[in-house]
Structure 1
Amino acid sequence: MSEKLQKVLARSGHGSRRELEATIAAGRVSVNGKIASLGERIDADAKVKIDGRDVAIKPEDAVVCRVLMYHKPEGELCTRKDPEGRPTVYDRLPNLQGARWVAVGRLDVNTSGLLLFTTDGELANRLMHPSQQIEREYAARIFGEVDEAMMQRLRKGVQLEDGPARFTTIKRAGGDGMNQWFHVTLTEGRNREVRRLWESQEVRVSRLMRIRYGSIQLEQGLPHGGWAELTLDQINYLRSLVKLPAEQRSFIDPRKQDTKQRRFARARKANAQIRQERNPGKAGRSDQDKPASSRSKRREPSLEQAFGVTDNPRRKGPGGRAPTGGSRKPAGGSNKKDRR
């Protein structure tokens, strides 16, 4: 049975459908020795090349869908390669054999937080399609006066240069004076949409972090630049959102129960290796990896402190409360491990 070329390549992990359509249109793909055309259908035994290199075409039952949760730091670009040599979100991801990671959407260079990657280009393509209306949640620090009338306008909708837009929900989340924290949700992924919505009301977003995609939450303790592989249940939740059949296999061995701590430890090790490669003459950790006690104090809590997404579960959020899920001493006694 023949299938569209871009769909087969996306499923086989060679990029998202959108990326592959552009690649085919540019004449970079050949099928059985001839330059391919957009929308061309191929059989399972077709010989396909991209930029003159043979690529593997996998049948549907041979593809294992994997999804990573990545904690994007500010300053990283959502592109595979940057001509200026700046860091990208792909630099720290684990290597793959015969496939590649496809980003599910993008985050602005100055936005941090949850970014999903998958080996299934068809899953990525469907999740990114505007018709899916998948809810995204952001934590934002706003500089300026925000009153109830402004929040109501943003819920109702405002006109941006590329059409009307609105927040589904807006909730205050702490802060004093001209710097206040908010949780906002929307169901689109337009370029810089959260920032542009706030800027339409003549206030400024000084920090922005995505903390949820659908029901997938950014895990507490996942360091900046760290990644964690999603469980089979989480992967099938995403597949069910876009009406794809459930995946039956997982790279997380249920017998060994690959824990968050072990995955996070691997992420921290990868971070250290990348820093050493970029700065071979410098030793030590970057400022964001240092203990909180060694950093300079700030008047305002960091965005990670404010919403409980932090490298250090003991760090406190607004009002001096420990973030949800942080480690606490058990009531009624001490714990020897706490004193180590």
Structure 2
Amino acid sequence: MTEPVRLAQRVAMLLQCSRAEAEQYVRNGWVSVDGRVVEAPQHRVTDERIDIDADARIEDVEPATILLHKPVGVDAIDGPKPAVALVTPETHWADDPSGVRLLQRHFHRLTPLVPLERDASGLMVLTQDGRVWRRLTEDADEIEHEYLVEISGELAPYGMAKMRHGLEYRGRALPPCNVSWQNENRLRFAIKGVRDGQLRWMCAQAGLDVVSIRRLRIGRIGTGKGPNGAMPPGAWRYLKVGEKF
């Protein structure tokens, strides 16, 4: 048996490359040990079989941004059932169109953004990328969200006009928004700067009770559709290169 060495050292020997390049190959998921991908350059190996993917290349791997279809009953940010726990390799959407290679490093230090009520479902964002964090926090009130709200009850006189413009919530005058009927028991909201409980409260001012809330879109980014339909609750995909909120 040979003496244990760092995986990066073995890769450097096999590829006749520098230690720094070898570490990048390992971190970027191009190297497997006895058939299992290992992303830790410091991993110790002896006589195991080391394979380097035929497509391996030196490249910078961007920090990941995850788009999750949060189910009802899951806490978006704070709470006993955090959404981040749903983001695993097993729940990766099979129809993810991003082309981003799945790496274990993508599941570390994910910051959940853009609150969504526990009893609501739909799109939420978790990211490692400071640029995305800044966009969705510093510009939060400028980014339009789209929601489908299932309702019951009878619309009060001028209720639609009230919701579109003229309400004040928690001492804050609400900006105008687009509210329209999708069918007889479902409303579509295109709205900016939504606060917790705001959609339920707005509907109540119009004489309506909220049955369910689903967020479809944040800015220009939606949950996504594939050949087998929309991304289902509990699944996630990557924000692909070039997609912007």
CA distance in 2, matches of 1:224, 1:131: 24
Q: CA-to-partner distance for each residue in 1:273-316, whole Å, 9 max, x for gaps?
A: xxxxxxxxxxxxxxxxxxxxxxxxxxxxxxxxxxxxxxxxxxxx
The reply on whether 1:108 has 2:117 as its aligned counterpart is yes
Deviation at 1:94, TM superposition (A): 3.1
Counterparts of 1:276-287 in structure 2, within 5 Å, are none
- Of 181, 184, 189 in structure 1, the residue corresponding to residue 189 of structure 2 is 184
Deviation at 1:184, TM superposition (A): 0.6
Deviation at 1:167, TM superposition (A): 5.0
Corresponding position of 2:138:
129
Corresponding position of 1:94:
88
Q: 1:197 to 1:169 in 2, by over 3 A?
A: same
Name whichever structure is richer in helix by fraction.
Answer: 1
The two structures, once aligned, show a CA RMSD in angstroms of 2.4
Q: 1:101 to 1:198 in 2, by over 3 A?
A: same
Q: 1:78 to 1:114 in 2, by over 3 A?
A: same
Counterparts of 1:48-87 in structure 2, within 5 Å, are 64-79=62-77, 82=80, 87=81
Corresponding position of 1:245:
none
Gaps of at least 5 residues in structure 1 are 1-61, 239-340
CA distance in 2, matches of 1:123, 1:72: 19
Aligned residue pair count:
168
Corresponding position of 1:156:
165
Deviation at 1:104, TM superposition (A): 2.0
Q: 1:74 to 1:167 in 2, by over 3 A?
A: farther
CA distance in 2, matches of 1:77, 1:103: 10
Query: CA contact under 8 A between 1:71 and 1:226: conserved in structure 2?
Result: yes
Q: Match of 1:97, as an amino acid?
A: R
Corresponding position of 1:197:
202
- Which sits farther off after the overlay, 94-103 or 202-211? 94-103
TM-score, length-scaled by structure 1: 0.45
Q: Match of 1:67, as an amino acid?
A: T
Query: CA contact under 8 A between 1:130 and 1:188: conserved in structure 2?
Result: no
Q: Match of 1:93, as an amino acid?
A: V
Deviation at 1:129, TM superposition (A): 2.6
- Of 143, 146, 149 in structure 2, the residue corresponding to residue 140 of structure 1 is 149
Question: Partner of 2:159: helix, strand, or coil?
Answer: helix
Query: CA contact under 8 A between 1:154 and 1:166: conserved in structure 2?
Result: no
CA distance in 1, matches of 2:126, 2:190: 21
Q: 1:232 to 1:130 in 2, by over 3 A?
A: closer
Query: CA contact under 8 A between 2:67 and 2:236: conserved in structure 1?
Result: yes
Q: CA-to-partner distance for each residue in 1:172-213, whole Å, 9 max, x for gaps?
A: 1113xxxx1010111103222212211233321111000011
Question: Partner of 1:126: helix, strand, or coil?
Answer: helix
Q: Which structure is larger by alpha-carbon Rg, 1 or 2? A: 2
Corresponding position of 1:232:
241
TM-score, length-scaled by structure 2: 0.61
Q: Match of 2:70, as an amino acid?
A: K
Query: CA contact under 8 A between 2:154 and 2:207: conserved in structure 1?
Result: no
Question: Partner of 1:91: helix, strand, or coil?
Answer: helix
Gaps of at least 5 residues in structure 2 are 1-59, 90-103
Question: Partner of 2:86: helix, strand, or coil?
Answer: coil
Name whichever structure is richer in strand by fraction.
Answer: 2
CA distance in 2, matches of 1:125, 1:144: 40
Query: CA contact under 8 A between 1:102 and 1:121: conserved in structure 2?
Result: no
CA distance in 2, matches of 1:131, 1:76: 22
